[in-house]
Amino acid sequence: MSDDSPDSVDSVDSVDSPDEAETETQAGGGNADHATAVLTHVVKSVVGDPDAVVVKTDASGETVALTVEVGPGDMGRVIGRRGRIANAIRTVVRAAGVRDGVSVDVEFLD
């Protein structure tokens, strides 16, 4: 009887693995969860008032548009000199979007 239990568990595990992979692929079709989480984390790490950070997602079209709003006085910290920090944030978030399987565009609003 103990021989049947491991076989049934092994067969269930082998069946569940492909289903999980399909679910992740399908969820990544128009969803940018990783990219949104990365963007939120990075921006909150840079600004002085992390509670004022708001990230909005617009998934209409082929690319997912992520819009970032920060508190007063924090936009300069997010943009950086000559936009270097903003460009670095965009690069990292686009890389996270690849994991989601979507193209990501990041905009910073006052």
For residue 41, give the CATH number of its domain. 3.30.300.20
Decide if 4 is inside a domain: no
Token digits of residue 100: 């989601």
Decide if 86 is inside a domain: yes
Express each pLDDT in 95-109 by its tens digit.
999 988 899 999 998
The structural domain count of the chain equals 1
Q: What angle do CA 58, 60, 61 make, to 5 degrees?
A: 130
Predicted TM-score of the model (pTM): 0.71
Decide if 75 is inside a domain: yes
Decide if 7 is inside a domain: no
Mean pLDDT, the chain, integer? 79
Decide if 16 is inside a domain: no
Segments forming the whole domain that contains residue 76: 30-109
Decide if 18 is inside a domain: no
3-state secondary structure of 28: coil
d(CA 57, CA 39): 11
d(CA 12, CA 100): 27
Decide if 17 is inside a domain: no
Express each pLDDT in 12-23 by its tens digit.
443 443 333 332
Give the closest residue to 94 by CA, choosing from 86, 85, 102. 102
d(CA 73, CA 67): 17
Residues paired with residue 68 on neighbouring β-strands, in sequence order: 55, 108
